[in-house]
């Protein structure tokens, strides 16, 4: 590992040298920063060679028992983190499972430590009971400020409350129904289904993750500011600059959390080299597109107000609701738009991608979903494949709802979230947390804890979510809702996701439309895809599939 560390640091020095020689950076600044970079590299290797080989000790839990992460002299938990950061989710899941109360202490040089937990009582404490003591915090906000600015997912206090209250009006039941009927249904009928039909006819391989990301991007843009980027238009393979830049900015922004020494990221940003240069370019593209849309909307606002005065109804979308906030700036509107695109695009597409991979490995689950789809149509006097499903029909699909919940238990779109601690506190499980520490709740690990889900926690088993209901003269299966603190896939407490119900309906409408028409054959379904940690959980390389018409697919799998 030491050779890899050396190559990485040498690469950073080489990048600085090349950047300086281009004449784009004054030599005095280059000399100062290169000396600082070399000093940090030397300091790192001093610690690495003299202390890394020493026997680290496990960090004990609050009750004094073993478990946890090895703590090395001077460097604390950083060596363990660095060695496992490429498999961060699996590593932390394993460590948390063996730690007392599924909670552990993370030691950082300088005394600013943190807590990582997969314990529901701790999650409820930080997200609800002591909500005001655990904000996003300055560190988290600073890391994402370039990309998300002061948007709802990167703000605290009154700034957050204003955005949440304003946005909540768009997520009432009538808006939800209109969104499904007007936007998702149109996108399914005119874009997604025709693309899958064309692929089925030509036996072409599709990247289903890419298809779902385009679908979700188009829909959230329509919802957020009534703009159709057309990412899934035509054959669904066009390269939209806005979408590509958005994806790049999200991935590189998350990578800032993974630096062994945060100072390295700040130096790279100052010098505008490597990943920080790519991030700056991606964010500039995202901002340009968002600002152009907002500028156009502001210019058209007077016209819309005149139409409203003459009796015509003003078009309502998420962005239009924020125009009424007094003294709101175009920059703030831009931050709002970007935050909601992030939520609507990445969470839905991530959930759908992992769902179809899990379904490809579970033919019995797929068969039960198909039976439910047919039964729903039969109760409404329609054929199973007749047109698209209505809002009421989607709400009847209890087994499909359970399967979606189960897929997100194993592969949550947002696998981890972090808060800052404002004042000293004691968590319900006895762990002490100090002012200035961070606390991370690991949703991915929580979905894989035997202490929460039982011995079959590793199985894709929708039945765990179903209860029998004998009302109305017949026995039916009803999907049970678990505590959001046990299942914080859509967050919990005052910051619970506003679009949770909208996401479920959108996912169900897509799954139902696809499965009634096509059999989806996932290539290499027996190999676990590599997880890519961005701000959401994605598959490395996407999800390659071939689709066949359901009527001609038969029962055998390739």
Tens of pLDDT, residues 84-101: 888 999 999 999 999 989
Instruction: Using the predicted structure, report yes or no on whether residue 519 has a pLDDT greater than 80.
Output: yes
- Residues paired with 531 in a beta bridge: 539
Q: Which of 387, 360, 363 is nearest to 376 (CA)?
A: 387
> Structure tokens of 239?
């390269």
Of 558, 525, 137, 472, the C-alpha closest to 359 is 525
- Please state the rounded mean pLDDT for residues 72-77: 83
Structure tokens at 490: 């859509």
Q: Are residues 36 and 168 in the same domain?
A: no
pLDDT digits (tens, 9 = 90+) for 304-341: 666 665 555 555 677 878 887 877 888 999 998 899 88
What does the pLDDT read at residue 473? 52
Residue whose C-alpha is closest to residue 205's, from 503, 469, 558? 558
- Asked if residue 472 belongs to a domain, the reply is no
Q: At what angle do helices 138-148 and 274-309 cross, to 10 degrees?
A: 70
**Alpha carbon distances (Å) from 465 to 247, 288, 394, 407, 452:** 33, 44, 17, 11, 13
The domain tally of the chain equals: 2
* DSSP 8-state symbol, 455: T
Q: Where is average pLDDT lowest: 49-63, 138-152, 347-361, 393-407? A: 49-63
| Per-residue pLDDT, 190 | 92
Higher pLDDT, 78 or 65: 78
What pLDDT was estimated at residue 62? Answer: 38
Average model confidence (pLDDT) for the chain? 83
| Sign of the dihedral through C-alpha 193, 194, 196, 201 | positive
558 falls within a domain:
no
pLDDT at 281: 97
Which pTM value belongs to this model?
0.85
Alpha-carbon distance of 359 to 525, in angstroms, equals 10
199 contact partners, CB below 8 Å, separation of at least 6? 205, 206, 546, 547
Identify each DSSP E strand in 320-453 by its residue range. Answer: 416-420, 425-426, 432-433, 438-442
Pairwise pLDDT comparison (19 vs 528), residue with the higher score: 528
**Dihedral sign computed on CA atoms, order 448, 454, 456, 461:** negative
Are 439 and 452 contacting, i.e. CB atoms less than 8 angstroms apart? no
In a domain, 145, yes or no: no
Q: Please say if the pLDDT value at position 164 is more than 60.
A: yes
Q: Per-residue confidence at 12, pLDDT binned at 50, 70, 90?
A: very low
Can you tell me the distance from the alpha carbon of 379 to that of 262, in angstroms, rounded to the nearest whole number?
59
Share of the chain above pLDDT 70, in %: 81
Kindly state whether residue 135 falls inside one of the protein's structural domains: no
Q: What CATH number corresponds to the domain at position 497?
A: 1.10.630.10
Find out whether 203 is annotated in a ligand binding site.
Answer: no
3-state secondary structure of 260: coil
Average confidence (pLDDT) over 148-171: 90
Residue 261's CB is within 10 A of a number of other CB atoms, namely: 15
**Terminal CA-to-CA distance of the chain, rounded, Å?**
41
Give residue 404's domain range: 163-453+480-553
The answer to the question of residue 147 being in a domain is no
Q: What is the DSSP letter of 72?
A: B
Residue 337 located in a structural domain: yes
Determine the Cα–Cα distance for residues 492 and 392; give it in Å rounded to an integer.
26
C-alpha count within 13 angstroms, C-beta hemisphere, residue 272: 9
pLDDT band at 261 (very low <50, low <70, confident <90, very high): confident
Is 515 inside a domain boundary? yes
The structure tokens listed for 294 are 């907002």
Q: Half-sphere exposure of 176 toward its Cβ, with a 13 Å CA cutoff?
A: 18
pLDDT for 44 equals 55
- Cα 7 from Cα 13, distance rounded (Å): 10
State how far the Cα of 230 lies from the Cα of 243, in Å rounded to an integer.
10
Question: Is the same domain home to 276 and 399?
Answer: yes
Under the banding of pLDDT at 50, 70 and 90, the label for residue 21 is: very low
Examine residue 57 and state whether it is found in any structural domain, yes or no. no
Distance CA 373, CA 368 (A): 9
Alpha helices in 169-234 (DSSP H): 173-178, 185-187, 193-202, 208-225
pLDDT of res. 33: 55
Across the range 519-536, mean pLDDT stands at 90
Q: What is the pLDDT of residues 127-147, one digit of tens each?
A: 999 999 999 999 899 999 999
Nearest to 61 by CA among 359, 430, 551, 484: 430
Chain position carrying tokens 């370019």: 281
Q: What is the pLDDT of residue 150?
A: 93
Residue among 113, 117, 77 nearest 101 (CA): 117
Q: Using the predicted structure, report yes or no on whether residue 192 has a pLDDT greater than 50.
A: yes
């Amino acid at each position: 590992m030491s050779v890899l560390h050396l190559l990485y640091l040498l690469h950073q020095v080489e990048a600085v040298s090349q950047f300086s020689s281009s004449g784009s950076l004054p030599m005095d600044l280059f000399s100062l920063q290169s000396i600082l970079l070399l000093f940090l590299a030397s300091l790192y290797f001093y610690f690495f060679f003299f202390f890394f080989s020493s026997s680290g000790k496990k960090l004990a839990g609050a009750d004094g028992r073993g478990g946890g992460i090895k703590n090395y002299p001077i460097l604390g938990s950083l060596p363990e983190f660095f060695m496992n950061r490429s498999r961060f989710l699996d590593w932390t899941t394993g460590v948390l499972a063996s730690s007392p109360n599924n909670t552990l202490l993370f030691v950082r040089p300088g005394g600013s430590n943190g807590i990582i937990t997969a314990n529901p009582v701790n999650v409820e404490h930080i997200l609800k009971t002591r909500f005001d003591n655990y904000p996003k915090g300055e560190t988290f906000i600073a890391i994402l400020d370039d990309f998300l600015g002061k948007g709802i997912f990167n703000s605290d206090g009154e700034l957050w409350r204003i955005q949440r209250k304003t946005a909540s009006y768009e997520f009432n039941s009538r808006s939800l129904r209109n969104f499904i009927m007007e936007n998702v249904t149109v996108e399914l009928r005119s874009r997604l289904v025709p693309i899958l039909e064309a692929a089925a006819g030509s036996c072409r391989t599709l990247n289903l993750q890419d298809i779902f990301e385009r679908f979700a991007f188009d829909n959230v843009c329509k919802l957020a500011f009534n703009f159709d980027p057309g990412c899934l238009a035509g054959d669904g393979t066009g390269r939209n600059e806005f979408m590509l830049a958005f994806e790049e900015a999200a991935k590189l922004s998350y990578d800032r959390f993974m630096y062994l020494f945060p100072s390295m990221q700040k130096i790279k940003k100052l010098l505008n080299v490597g990943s920080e240069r790519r991030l700056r370019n991606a964010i500039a593209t995202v901002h340009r597109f968002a600002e152009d849309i907002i500028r156009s909307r502001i210019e058209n606002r007077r016209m819309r107000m005149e139409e409203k005065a003459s009796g015509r109804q003003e078009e309502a979308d998420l962005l239009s609701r924020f125009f009424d906030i007094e003294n709101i700036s175009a920059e703030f509107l831009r931050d709002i738009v970007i935050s909601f695109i992030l939520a609507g695009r990445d969470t839905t597409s991530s959930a759908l991608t992992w769902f179809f991979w899990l379904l490809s490995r579970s033919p019995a689950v797929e068969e039960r979903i198909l039976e439910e789809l047919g039964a729903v149509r039969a109760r409404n006097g329609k054929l199973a494949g007749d047109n698209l499903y209505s809002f009421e029909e989607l709400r009847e699909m209890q087994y499909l709802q359970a399967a979606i919940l189960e897929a997100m238990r194993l592969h949550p779109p947002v696998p981890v979230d972090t808060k800052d601690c404002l004042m000293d506190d004691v968590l319900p499980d006895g762990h002490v947390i100090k002012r200035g520490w961070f606390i991370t709740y690991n949703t991915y690990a929580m979905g894989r804890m035997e202490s929460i889900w039982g011995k079959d926690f590793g199985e894709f088993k929708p039945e765990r979510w179903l209860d029998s209901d004998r009302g109305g003269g017949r026995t039916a299966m009803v999907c049970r809702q678990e505590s959001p603190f046990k299942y914080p896939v859509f967050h919990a407490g005052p910051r619970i996701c506003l679009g949770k119900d909208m996401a479920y309906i959108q996912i169900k409408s897509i799954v139902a439309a696809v499965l009634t028409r096509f059999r989806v054959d996932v290539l290499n379904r027996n190999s676990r895809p590599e997880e890519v940690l961005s701000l959401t959980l994605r598959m490395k390389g996407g999800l390659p599939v071939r689709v066949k018409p359901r009527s001609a697919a038969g029962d055998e799998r390739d």
